[in-house]
């Protein structure tokens, strides 16, 4: 395994086409696109990593997997009253789809859906309390108390919130949000601004690869059924309008973030985190997807056959 990760890292180092770093907020635009990291946490307790695997980066939308897990713990299937679980088709659909479907976002991984999930978690509490709860959960599953929000990234997102504010007000107009829009957004942007390394992320995702049990501690995070369901949502909706492409090329449930990270789950095997800041046209890490494709080919860990 270590050889494989080293091979992948070496192969990625040779790639000259590295995509485009997210530039919609200044804080993300600063990141050096030459970086690449990969980490694997296996269900039998092994940890492997290569490249910049201990460098923290902004996990952005990968955080949606964690808030979804929290929300399901709090609301169970009640969550699905305000969030769907179908792929959204394409980015164009985001707000069109909201208009068509009464402000109910298609799934918890598009921005509108993730905002609705945060609103569901808040349950009348202040942003600060909700954020403490989210951070506490992430630290717990990653078994690492050092994980923090990047306040500068969160502030930068809040300052450029118009697109997400539009989505949030739209859902609020349909009665889909219970809390004040700016408070929900403030919480959401902090959640997205969690900084983690590949090693921390692979560790945090391990419970999804092992039927809901947080290895090696052996503590159950979610039921086996819930772990499967979260994985199914990652498979169907984890890469925006390139989810089909990711399933086709990699064959594993995964969730990407515009910070350049991807968390992929190989049920029964382990959790893999990759990071490379340059994005492809759909907003997924260009080298991250390539690295995972190489990883899946070599390990034969595709969920679709081996």
Contact 147, 138 (CB under 8 A): yes
Among the residue ranges 54-62, 117-125, 196-204, 224-232, the one whose residues contact a copy of itself (CB under 8 A): 224-232
Query: Under the criterion CB under 8 A, does residue 23 sit at the interface with a copy of itself?
Result: no
**Contact characters 67-86, a copy of itself, x per CB under 8 A:** -----------------xxx
* Nearest to a copy of itself of 34, 304 (CB atom): 304
Query: Under the criterion CB under 8 A, does residue 298 sit at the interface with a copy of itself?
Result: no
Catalytic entry in 58, 156, 240, 243:
240
Q: How far is the CB of 228 from a copy of itself (least distance, A)?
A: 4
**Binding site annotation covers 240?**
yes
* Cβ neighbours around 92 below 10 Å, total: 10
CA distance 275 to 105: 28
Catalytic entry in 49, 58, 61, 197:
61
In which region does residue 216 sit, left (phi positive, over 0), alpha (psi from -120 to 50) or beta (all else)?
Answer: alpha
Nearest partner of 155 among 189, 108, 195, 196, judged by Cα:
189
Dihedrals φ, ψ of 272, to 5°?
Answer: -120, 130
Q: Which of 76, 151, 248, 281 binds a copy of itself (CB under 8 A)?
A: 248
Clarify whether 61 is annotated catalytic: yes
* Nearest to a copy of itself of 27, 241 (CB atom): 241
Dihedrals φ, ψ of 36, to 5°?
Answer: -150, 135
The residues, ordered by sequence, that sit 6+ positions from 295 with a Cβ below 8 Å of its Cβ are 4, 8, 38, 250, 264, 272, 301
Contact 29, 22 (CB under 8 A): yes
Binding residues for substrate: 61, 111, 157, 164, 188, 240, 258
Residues at the interface with a copy of itself (CB under 8 A): 84-90, 92-93, 95-97, 99-100, 106-107, 161-163, 165-170, 172-173, 181, 208-212, 224, 227-229, 231-233, 235-237, 241-245, 247-248, 251, 253, 267-268, 302-306
């Amino acid at each position: 395994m270590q050889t494989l990760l080293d091979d992948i890292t070496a192969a990625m180092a040779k790639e000259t086409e590295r995509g485009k770093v997210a530039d919609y907020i200044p804080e993300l635009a600063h990141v050096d696109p030459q970086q690449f990291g990969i980490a694997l946490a296996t269900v039998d307790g092994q940890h492997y990593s290569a490249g910049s695997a201990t460098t923290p980066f902004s996990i952005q939308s990968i955080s949606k997997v964690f808030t979804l897990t929290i929300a399901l713990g709090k609301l169970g299937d009640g969550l699905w009253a305000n969030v769907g679980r179908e792929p959204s088709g394409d980015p164009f659909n985001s707000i069109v789809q909201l208009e068509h479907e009464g402000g109910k976002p298609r799934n918890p991984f598009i921005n509108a859906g993730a905002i609705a999930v945060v609103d569901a978690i808040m349950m009348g509490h202040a942003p600060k309390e909700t954020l403490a709860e989210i951070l506490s959960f992430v630290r717990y599953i990653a078994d690492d108390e050092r994980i923090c929000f990047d306040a500068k990234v969160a502030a930068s997102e809040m300052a450029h919130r118009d697109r997400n504010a539009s989505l949030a007000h739209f859902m609020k107009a349909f009665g889909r949000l219970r809390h004040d829009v700016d408070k929900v957004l403030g919480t959401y942007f902090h959640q997205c601004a969690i900084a983690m390394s590949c090693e921390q992320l692979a560790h945090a995702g391990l419970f999804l690869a092992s039927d809901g049990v947080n290895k090696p501690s052996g503590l159950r995070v979610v039921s086996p059924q819930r772990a499967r369901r979260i994985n199914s949502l990652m498979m169907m909706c984890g890469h925006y309008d390139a989810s089909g492409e990711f399933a086709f090329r990699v064959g594993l449930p995964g969730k990407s973030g515009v910070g350049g990270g991807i968390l992929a789950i190989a049920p029964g095997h382990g959790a893999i985190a990759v990071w490379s800041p340059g994005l492809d046209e759909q907003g997924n890490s260009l080298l991250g997807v390539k690295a995972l494709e190489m990883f899946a080919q070599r390990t034969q860990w595709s969920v679709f056959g081996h």
